[in-house]
Each structure stands twice: as structure tokens, then as C-alpha cells.
Amino acid sequence: MAIHPRAQFIDVGLTVLVASGVAVAIGIGAKSVTPPVGLAPYLFGVLMALPVLGWRRWPLGVLLVSSALQLAYYTLHFPGIPPSPILALPLYAAALAGRLAWAIVVPGFFYSYGFFDLAVGEHQGWLNTFGGLLPHIALAAVTVLLGEVVRSRRALAEETRERLRQAEQDRQREAAQQVAEERVRIARELHDTVAHSMATITVQAGGALHVLGERPKDVEFALKAIRATSKGALQELRATLGILRDGQEPEQVGGLDRLPALLDAVRAAGVPVTMRVTGRAVPLNPPADHSAYRILQESLTNVLRHAGPQVKALITMAYDPYGVAIEVTDDGVGVGTVAVADSGGGHGLGGMRERAEAVGGTLTAGPRPGGGFVVSARLPT
């Protein structure tokens, strides 16, 4: 642990202060000693103060070394001094470092030893001895308590910083997840809009070229259908891309209220579509309503693109109090829809399934036993 030069300067000052306090305590104790003491106790007092220099780096070691030197001082029968001047800072350092047990045991040993030595060995009386040691015991207790309070506050501050850091990481992960989900949603919207519109336009353009010069009315009808489909696609693209331009929430431009226009466009492209509704129609919430429209749109787009010529489609919508069951079947002979379903590489069927699951529904798709393809979805109200 690197120590700032300013902290080192403060530690030198603290060491000098401890040494001075020990010298004063030795001087007071020497007054009652005969013959007068020499320099040895004072030099040993300086030696006892030197470990204080390392209280930041080795708190427990400083406490143990200071305690050992204190015992050595008493063993050499130097003038009696209380352990407080030497042990105050090491006790604080030990408590600050989380060594609370040592910070309690060490002064407990010294004051218990001093109490019995003075009360029993020197016959100073139990009450007088306790009264004399009480200020030193209180000083040691306050020192240990101060170290523990500072340690607890630092630990609380560190825990708070860690929680804030974790919260920031969680926020960043959530933001990244939202961005990813938004990217997938935009990709779905673009796929559904572009795929359906391009498929419809392609079929209409092919039909117009086929009758060009023979049936002008059919060509005009096809061109009008292409214009209407393109206009609708541009509107949906503009709404979907609004979030990329301005950060605004894209509008749910497609709902079941647009289903008649969708059926007209598909029929104009040459695919007869039959619609059957059973049960009492109940309004869906906006996300489910949008998902239902997109599922129908993508299913009919797949019919246009993959089911082959002379195909017919049937849409069945069965309402009940809990939701709506949607089924789109065709009698096409093409294998495109089957290939897309089996490979999992297309975005159409996967996107439909994701849309259904996003609103709490389910979707299955696959070839029919008698030929053709079927898409079945269940969406809650």
C-alpha cells in the first residue's frame, strides 16, 4: 500500500507526539523512584514509540510489537507508566483494520495485569487502583470505539459505491438490451413492410407485363394497386424509421382495422382470399392488435411468394372471451414455405413467432398433410 508523502509526514509527527507523551509519563513516574533514574528509561520510551511509524501499513503488527516492548519495559523495572500513551494509536489502527478482537484483548490484558499488580502487589486498595486506572481504561475504550466507527463508516461508503457501480452496470446492461430489442423490433417492422409490399408489387407488375397491350384496363388496375401498395409501404417505413431519426416511439401503424385493405391488395395480386370469423369479436390491446395484423400480413406475403400459381388462401379467426385464434391456410403446391419453415433461416416465420410470444401468445407453422401450408396463432385479449 503506497502512502502519500503528506501522510508519512503526519506519521512522523504522531510518533514524536507519542514519544513525548511517554517521556512525560516516565518523568512523572520517576519522581517516586529512588535513586533517580538515568537516560535508559527515556531511550527505551523512544524505542517503544518508533513502531507507530508503521501503523497504517501494519496495524496488527504495530500493536503486537508495541505490546511486547511495553512488557519489556515493565520487566526491566523502569518507572511505572500507564500503557495508554503507547497503545492508544496502535489500538485505533487495529480497530480500523478490523482487528477488533485484538484491540480488546491487548488492553484488557495490560489493565488486568496492572490492576492486580497495584491492588495486590503494592497494596494500594481495590477502589483506589480502579479509580486510578479508570481514565486510562476509558481512553482505550474510546480509542477502540473510534476506530471501529471509522471502519464501519468506510465500509458503508465502500458498499454504497459498490452498489452504485453495480446499479450503473445494470442500467448499462438494461439500456444495451433495450437497444438490441429495439433493433430487432425495427428489423421486424422493416421486414414485414418491405417483404409484403415488394411481393405484392412484384406480382402486380408481373401481371401488368403479362397483359400489356392486350387488356389496358387490367394494366391500369395493376398500376393503381402498385401505387397504393407503395404509398402505404412508404408511410409505414416513415413511421418505423422515426425512432432512428428523432428517437421517438414508432407508431403501431398496422392493426386489424387495416385488414380489409390488406385483403384487397392480396386479391388484386391474383390470390383469392376467403375470410371466416367465428365468435364475438372482442377488441385486442394495441400490441396484440398490431401483432395479429403483422402475422396475417406475413402469412399472406408467404402465400404470394412461395405457394405457387392458382393458389387460394383461407383466413379463420375464432374469438372467445380469452383471445383470438388465427389460422391462415393455403392449397399451394410450392415448397418455398416449407423450406423456410424447416430451415429457420428466414425472418418471416421467426418474426411471426416472436411477435406472438411478445404479447403472451403462441404460433405454429408448417405444411398441411393434404398439401399447402398452415399458420396457426393464438393471441390473448
* Reported confidence tier of residue 345, pLDDT bands at 50, 70, 90: very low
Which residue has cell 483494520? 97
CB burial string 250-280: b at 16+ within 10 A, e below: beebbbbebbeebbebbebbebebeeeeeee
Per domain, the residue ranges of the chain are: 5-124, 271-381
* Reported confidence tier of residue 94, pLDDT bands at 50, 70, 90: very high
Residue 32 is placed in which grid cell? 517516586
The mean predicted confidence, pLDDT, of the chain is 80
* Reported confidence tier of residue 85, pLDDT bands at 50, 70, 90: confident
* Reported confidence tier of residue 351, pLDDT bands at 50, 70, 90: confident
**Among 87-96, 327-336, 337-346, the least confident range:** 337-346
pLDDT digits (tens, 9 = 90+) for 227-262: 666 666 666 666 666 656 655 555 555 688 888 888
Q: Is 304 exposed, middle or buried (0-12, 13-18, 19+ CB in 10 A)?
A: buried
Three-state DSSP state, 106: helix
Supply the pLDDT for residue 69: 92
Supply the pLDDT for residue 340: 42
* Reported confidence tier of residue 336, pLDDT bands at 50, 70, 90: very low
271-381 is classed CATH 3.30.565.10: yes
CB 349 within 8 A of CB 365: yes
Q: How far apart are CA 372 and CA 102, in angstroms?
A: 83
